[in-house]
Amino acid sequence: MEWVAALLFIAVILLLLAGFPVAFTLGGTALLFAAAGVLGGSFHEALLSGLPNRIFGIMTNETLVAVPLFVFMGVTLERARIAEDLLETLSALFGKLRGGLGISVTLVGMLLAASTGIVGATVVTMGLLSLPTMLKHGYSPEVSAGTICAAGTLGQIIPPSIILVMLGDVMTTAYQQAQLDMGIFSPKTVSVGDLFAGALIPGLLLVFLYMLYLLALAFFRPATMPAHRQEDGETVSLSRVLRALFPPLLLIFAVLGSILGGYATPTEAAGVGGMGALLLAISRRELNLSRLREIMRSTLRISSMVFMILIGASIFSLVFRGYGGDDGVRAILESLPGGIVGAVIVVMLVMFLLGFVLDFIEITFVVVPIVGPVLLAMGLDPVWLGIMIAINLQTSFLTPPFGFALFYLRGVAPPSITTAQIYRGAIPFVAIQLFALLLLAIFPQLVTWLPGKIYGS
């Protein structure tokens, strides 16, 4: 009955493209297919008895508690207006360096990524703050738009990332399932901390490659990136730099350092991050009762969306497996030419294309549980595979014409910036992303070395 599983997958994609709510599309379509199968005698209704346990498992999953806490941390920091201070300070710090403003935007994007981990919020915030400033200082619209979109998507890969938390939970299940399929009944585990450690070097590598490109562009095409014109009375003292950089850096080190150092689980560190963000907002006098209500409502909306999608995806996964969809996927991947390399290339290409129409959350909870166990059973490292998936989807979200990051920027860009200019600006950064993926494929140690050193795995 693998063809029914394929039909279920296609039906879900079509309904999502039609604009139906994600969580109810996943769960509702799967239940309709299951009901039709029970009536037709092709689906065992006993499989549906596992649904309560699956939902209860989501409710009691301690790792996933980190999601609302990190969301709260990100939303609070967004309201605390740290990006504005960082951008002004770093722009003045780089002074007369040609391309200095572009580098400042990249560094601020990196710090916001490590502070908030919310791609959409980062792109919108950077678009509202940085785009007018870059255009005012003579930067070309293409360079400005491309830099902001690329810097905004760093929240996908630089820890502590909400996306890596969700991906870590899914990869843990997939890795255990792969080992059980191979007859290993004392399976090893992979944690969110492993993914955070594995993502650190690739994330910093991307930041380095972005800045290298901007410096090269400033050298070979100086008209597109004029030097920052320092205004009268604009000074950059050490105290000003520390005031802007120290609070967010302290928060990042407290959260990420406690996880990588083994002092706290991701959930505990997320709690520290949430409290730290709250204290930071209070210290900047950016918090009042109405703004706190706003933060809490936004956190509730985002967290509810994530968990509803997770429940819907869990129902979809159960029905998909009940129709033998996982066996069909395994047979297809194992029969591809090129063995494991061919399988990885095909899966990455499919995920890249799905990233045009589906959000990362949907791909993480729907696609990864299907292909993850098959690829891991072929001998791939789970941390390497998780980071490759994350960067692959980050690239997809940046690629014209359907990249989500481009849509976010289009929504806040002035009418003078055309969609074509945003697309042209993003293309060089897409090439950088693909180059980074190639480097990680050739040198997987860039991902696996740090987790091995920290956790001995």
Whether the predicted pLDDT of 46 surpasses 60: yes
**21: left (phi > 0), else alpha (psi -120 to 50), else beta?**
beta
What is the arithmetic mean of pLDDT over 188-200? 87
pLDDT tier for residue 229 given thresholds of 50, 70 and 90:
low
What is the arithmetic mean of pLDDT over 213-240? 76
Alpha-carbon dihedral 346, 348, 351, 352, rounded to 10 degrees = -110
Q: What is the pLDDT of residue 424?
A: 92
Whether the predicted pLDDT of 204 surpasses 90: yes
3-state secondary structure of 401: coil
CB 277 within 8 A of CB 77: yes
Q: What is the pLDDT of residue 95?
A: 60
pLDDT tier for residue 61 given thresholds of 50, 70 and 90:
confident
DSSP for 420-432, written as a single string: HHHHHHHHHHHHH
Ranked by mean pLDDT, the top range of 43-57, 121-135, 271-285, 428-442 is 428-442
Q: Is the dihedral of CA 227, 88, 397, 167 positive or negative?
A: positive
Whether the predicted pLDDT of 442 surpasses 90: yes
Q: How far apart are CA 375 and CA 165, in angstroms?
A: 20
What is the arithmetic mean of pLDDT over 384-411? 87
Q: What is the pLDDT of residue 359?
A: 74
Taken as a whole, the chain contains a residue count of 457
**306: left (phi > 0), else alpha (psi -120 to 50), else beta?**
alpha
Q: What is the pLDDT of residue 166?
A: 85
Q: What is the pLDDT of residue 201?
A: 94
What is the arithmetic mean of pLDDT over 20-28? 84
Q: What is the pLDDT of residue 432?
A: 95
Whether the predicted pLDDT of 454 surpasses 70: yes
pLDDT tier for residue 401 given thresholds of 50, 70 and 90:
confident
Q: What is the pLDDT of residue 392?
A: 92
Please, what's the b/e burial string for 235-249 (b: 16 or more CB within 10 A of its CB; e: otherwise)? ebeeeeeeebbebbe
Q: What is the pLDDT of residue 384?
A: 94
Q: What is the pLDDT of residue 233?
A: 55
pLDDT tier for residue 90 given thresholds of 50, 70 and 90:
confident
Q: What is the pLDDT of residue 235?
A: 64
3-state secondary structure of 310: helix
**324: left (phi > 0), else alpha (psi -120 to 50), else beta?**
left
What is the arithmetic mean of pLDDT over 233-241? 70
Q: Which has the minimum average pLDDT: 88-92, 158-162, 169-173, 333-337?
A: 88-92
Contacting residues for 456 by C-beta, under 8 A, at least 6 apart? none
**209: left (phi > 0), else alpha (psi -120 to 50), else beta?**
alpha
Q: What is the pLDDT of residue 184?
A: 76
Q: How far apart are CA 31 and CA 322, in angstroms?
A: 12
Q: Which has the minimum average pLDDT: 13-22, 146-155, 269-278?
A: 13-22
What is the arithmetic mean of pLDDT over 146-171? 86
Name which residue leads in pLDDT, 236 or 292.
Answer: 292
Name which residue leads in pLDDT, 330 or 116.
Answer: 330
Q: Is the dihedral of CA 173, 179, 185, 190 positive or negative?
A: negative
3-state secondary structure of 227: strand
Phi, psi of 227 (to 5 degrees): -70, 150
Q: Which has the minimum average pLDDT: 174-183, 289-298, 437-446?
A: 174-183
What is the arithmetic mean of pLDDT over 290-303? 88
- pLDDT > 70: what percent of the chain? 95
Phi, psi of 98 (to 5 degrees): -70, 130
Whether the predicted pLDDT of 121 surpasses 80: no
pLDDT tier for residue 231 given thresholds of 50, 70 and 90:
low
Average pLDDT over the chain, rounded to an integer: 84
Q: What is the pLDDT of residue 117?
A: 61
What is the token pair recorded at 37?
Answer: 């199968």
